[in-house]
Chain A
Amino acid sequence: MTMTEDPTTPGYKWVGTRPIRPDGLDKVTGKARFGADLILPNMVEAAVLRSRHAHARILSIDTAAALEMPGVQAIITGDDFPPTDDMAPGDAHQAVKVMARDKVLFEGHPVAAVAATSRAEAQAAAKAIVVTYEQLPHVLTVDEAMADGAPILHDDLITANVDPAPETASNIASRAFFERGDLDEGFAAADAILERSYTTKPVHQGYIEPHAAVADSGQNGRANLWVSSQGHFDMRTMTAKVLGMSASKIKATPAEIGGGFGGKTTIYLEPLAVLLSRKANRPVRVVMDRDEVFMATGPTSGSSMKIKMGIKNDGTITACDLWMAFEAGAFPGSPVGAASMTALACYDVDNFRIEGFDVVVNKPKVAAYRAPGAPISAFAVESMIDELARAIDMDPIELRLANAAKEGVQAPYGPVFPRIGFIETLEAIRDSDHYRSPVPEGQGRGLASGFWFNIGGNSVATVNVHADGNVSVITGSPDIGGSRSSMALFAAEEFGIDVERVQPHIADTDTIGDTDVTGGSRVTLATGKVVVEACRKIVTDLCRRAAKTWDCEIEDVEWVQGHAQHVSGTESPLSLADLAANAGRTGGPISATHAENVRGAGAGFSTQLVDLAVDEETGQTSIVRYTTAQDAGKAIHPSYVEGQMQGGVVQGIGWALNEEYIHRADGTLDNPSFLDYRIPVASDLPMIDTIVVEVPNPNHPYGVRGVGEVGIVPPMAAIANAIDRATDCRMEHLPMSPVALLEAINERNAD
């Protein structure tokens, strides 16, 4: 087993080191408070009544008997929510998603919610609510939903971005389209052309903590909301819109979050809790059961894709024609746009056409899932590139190097890449011990690459220096995987003080300024940048205070290793603690805030290599060895960078080999449990070797790119490519489960 390689950190004392995370102690001793851990005085519990039908008209809801049940405090239905007529379409869909109005559109769609003095009483009362439905025909796949005469989910849904606009409603919400060059010329120039079709199934983010919310509404029209989410500002704003409130009337306080991966960037329970609390006149806690998480919260899209690519014998990709349709679930909003933009972003291709359709079906509305969309289109493109490499008998790394995107290349979605590190990830794998080792007998080796944009966005940081010279760093970014550590390391580096003297804190929506979600791999980049800028404001202030103390010009003061120093060396240096102790005489408390819509995110690339073995009698695939190389820009806390890389890979392994939503013909979900929706467990896996590549992002003070997402983009194709080489079976449908692979092996044997 090779050990993970440690990046080097020239010039930095703290950035690039691996201190214990500030919130770690609470998380290994059971003290950390997650979404469901809050108990307020006088609090009651809630349960949600959900549709058992995939598509049905609600004829009536009778709550009379339920209201008489023991312990019941309040019941809400769609009638308790403001009408959606005047809302923007997206907001209206959100409002109807959290509580059905005239129709239910997926199994698990909420139709009522009950608050009672215990959860058992709330559940019993929910069961006593009588809902009369008129069942409607449903559609479960993009093929069904796009067929002529398909049942229509939304009577007013007109396909966007099609010219001329259609005159009638359909299940196609929108079309994404990107093209460049001349496809016919490109294919004419090719020495080899391949065409393939691929499908993928909806897969769930699978966070271990179910959704939870606690609300306490007051008679003054305000509400306190405690949320386990990736962004409590967004939770507050979305909840307010659904309830017709001003956002600032809700104070949202972040709980620790037990995993999200994109799935906790949207609301489900929050408006229900606020409304139930208002009606019950008591604090209300509502927590999902695991089957509710699977039925009613965001998987990512199932898809259908068709691709045609051409290549020259020298390895030049000459043309690509890609068609995709993604399931959005019951409301528009699949990540097909991002899938279209990312599909060819690793490569410099002169001629392409990429067309994607966002299609509603009677399943839960999809939510973001780690690099949303990109893993799906990459499964098609990276599988196809491996087949092209075999077709022209070229090494798959050399083929990718021959076409690799680099600085100055125009990305398929428009911008010209600044300095990026895709080639470096290919070279890192090519030069790895893994790649240089022969493929063990009986195994197959596969390789694939991936791209993700990474984003910046709105962040705010307040930095306070206490009288003892220690530092608090306050941000609004929920810590989903160790980001507090990065914030502390930035501050320690900027001030030149021990990292243990920095205490990071994540504040509620009244205490710190509007901050975007922890998503898009943005926190270390964007929230990190505002922390750095706030620290720099304070360092300038500290130098001013030292100048005042020494009665000299600020230009004569410099900040060196945690001290203000006079350039002449005539004064004794003043430490941060010295200056803090004297703050009252030099201008008062030491504090600074920096708020910014951070731009200049650096694109992320990953290249991954897998060795695997297939049991030809059972179709079972065993991952034997896995190496992932990813450009982090700069690894601030390398352990948590490696953790993001490893976690993304293993989610991808699950997506590749096991995970899928299995729906019955009646539109209900057959596997809403961790027993039947099987995510990878420890005994399924080897160690995941990581190579952290550092090509600094020129637009960030420490070169950060963002690392959370791109790691999940390559695994499905890498594994498909390895299975092909191990078994001579080319798998074009996910998951490549034992059943599916055994079928392919049997077909191969029959040929």
Chain B
Amino acid sequence: MNTPHTKSVVSCTINGNATQFLADSGGTLLNALRDDIGLTGVKEGCGTGDCGACSILVEDRVTCACLIFAPEAEGATIVTIEGLAEADHLHPLQETFLEGAALQCGVCTPGFLMAAKALLDKNPDPTETEIRYALAGNLCRCTGYDKIIRAVQDAAERMRENA
């Protein structure tokens, strides 16, 4: 295990851009995103799918990048934290996380934002319980989750008003 592997060319779409990269056949998509493509906003907290810090969207589904081999990204449409904001404005979740102080150290924040986006894209008016279960795969050790849940509630309301 973890011995060097052969490399293959992978073509996919990342944050709206057609992207090609050389994938280590035994390497994770997380390592490819961070070290080869330079998307270090995707964080590694555990490498075993337990913390959610590397949450990204693959075909609109929230996914741990550490649980996918890099070659599996072939043909996929991927969104990372770097693709969440537009050039001239933030996503409502980013706004409400900032306004509501929903981050302390901020290392889990990219994963929470992507998981919360996946939730609100499917369910624009979630209950508190639905939010808590949708985010149960994302660990935060700083906040006790209170302000994160409130920020997601506020973003949902803002998105419904602007829908």
Contacts and interface: CB of A to CB of B under 8 A. Distances in A.
25 contacts: A21-B101, A25-B90, A27-B103, A27-B109, A28-B85, A29-B82, A30-B41, A120-B5, A209-B43, A209-B107, A210-B44, A257-B105, A258-B45, A290-B47, A481-B142, A640-B104, A643-B104, A643-B144, A647-B143, A675-B50, A681-B136, A682-B132, A685-B145, A687-B146, A688-B146
Nearest to B134: A682
A682 B131 contact: yes
A259 B107 contact: yes
A120 B98 contact: no
A602 interface: no
Interface of A: 1, 18, 20-21, 23-25, 27-34, 36-37, 39, 70-71, 118-121, 123-124, 205-210, 256-261, 287, 289-290, 480-482, 637, 639-640, 642-644, 646-651, 673-675, 679-683, 685, 687-688
Q: What are the nearest 3 A-B pairs in CB distance?
A: A30-B41, A258-B107, A650-B144
Nearest to B107: A258
B136 A124 contact: no
Contacts of A36: 34, 40, 44
A476 to B, nearest CB: 18
A729 B107 CA distance: 39
Nearest to B42: A30
Interface string B116-135: 00000000000011011101
A434 to B, nearest CB: 15
A650 B3 contact: no
A28 B97 contact: yes
A674 B146 contact: no
Contacts of A123: 2
Given A123-B2, A688-B144, A30 B40 contact: yes
A681 B139 CA distance: 6
Interface in B74-126: 80-82, 84-85, 90, 94, 97-101, 103-110, 113
Nearest to A260: B105
B48 A674 contact: yes
A222 to B, nearest CB: 27
Contacts of A683: 129, 132-133, 135-136
Nearest to B114: A30
B145 A120 contact: no
B144 A30 contact: no
A155 to B, nearest CB: 38
Given A33-B40, A34-B107, A682-B132, A643 B4 contact: no
Given A259-B142, A682-B136, A683-B133, A481 B104 contact: yes
Given A36-B44, A683-B133, 7 more contacts: A30-B39, A124-B4, A208-B43, A208-B51, A482-B101, A639-B100, A674-B51
A490 B81 CA distance: 32
A256 B108 CA distance: 12
B46 A674 contact: yes
Nearest to A1: B128
A249 to B, nearest CB: 29
B25 to A, nearest CB: 11
Contacts of B80: 30
Contacts of A34: 43, 107
Interface in B25-63: 26-27, 31, 34-35, 38-48, 50-51, 53
Nearest to A38: B40
Of listed B2, B34, B38, residue having the most chain A CB within 10 A: B2
A207 B105 contact: yes
Contact of A643 (B2, B94, B101, B136): B101
A208 B141 contact: yes
A207 B143 CA distance: 11
A649 B103 CA distance: 16
A37 B38 CA distance: 9
A637 B90 CA distance: 23
B139 A208 contact: yes
Nearest to A26: B106
Interface string B143-155: 1111111100000
B106 A640 contact: no
Contacts of A644: 104
A640 B146 CA distance: 12
A291 to B, nearest CB: 9
Contacts of A642: 101, 146-147
A290 B142 contact: no
Contacts of A648: 144
Nearest to A644: B104
Nearest to A689: B146
B4 A118 contact: yes
A258 B40 contact: no
A169 B51 CA distance: 43
A648 B24 CA distance: 41
B141 A259 contact: yes
Contacts of B138: 681-682
Contact of A289 (B42, B47, B107): B47
Contact of A207 (B3, B82, B141, B146): B141
B141 A32 contact: no
A119 B4 CA distance: 9
A118 B135 CA distance: 33
Nearest to A648: B144
A28 B113 contact: yes
Contacts of B143: 643, 646-647, 650
Contacts of A25: 90, 98
